[in-house]
Amino acid sequence: MLNIKLLGIDKNGDEREYTLKDFAGQRLVLYFYPKDNTSGCTQEACDFRDNMNRLTSKAVVIGVSPDNTKRHKSFQEKQNLNFILLSDTEHKLAEAFNVWVEKSMYGRKYMGIERSTFILDEKGNIEKEWRKVKVKGHVDEVLEYLS
């Protein structure tokens, strides 16, 4: 799980390759979301952005979705996001965290991301997880846990 290589957009808007090993020695807030520029995902990203000053002393925030880096860069610029977005187009990281799941909408079944957040400790171990996250108030839950 720590060696899965993904392209991402750093907080300066530059594309580069990441593995979770790159963050050894730091706590991570790793949050999985379904799709850039949708209402819930935009709200969640903006909530993390707006609380970054309260988060940076506690953990590094990384967002992960199946969108490609071009979409991530556009999303980051449009919303002025100040954290890393990883592009998990092949769902490798999502599958490693068991958040690539069968979903259903209007009776149609499909595979997609289950909105989830993980706190990883300095060694990359899962310290805390939230599954089927409801966006409203979630960042406050994360902050409360980290405090």
Which run of H or of E encompasses 110? strand 108-113
Known catalytic membership, residue 46:
no
Residue 79 inside a domain? The answer is yes
| Contact yes or no for 84/64 (Cβ under 8 A) | no
CA distance 115 to 142: 14
Residue 66, domain member (yes or no): yes
CA torsion sign for 30, 35, 41, 46 is positive
Query: Is there a domain that residue 127 lies in?
Result: yes
1 within some domain: no
Q: Which of 41, 55, 62, 94 is catalytic?
A: 41
Number of domains in the chain: 1
Q: What CATH number has the domain bearing residue 77?
A: 3.40.30.10
Give the range of the structural domain holding residue 98, as residue numbers without chain letter. Answer: 6-146
One DSSP character per residue, 8-19 reads EE-TTS-EEEE-
Is 87 within the bounds of a domain? yes
pLDDT, one tens digit for every residue, the chain (147 residues):
568 889 998 888 889 999 989 999 999 999 999 999 999 999 999 999 999 999 988 999 999 999 999 999 999 999 999 999 999 999 999 999 999 999 988 989 999 999 999 999 999 999 999 999 999 999 999 999 999
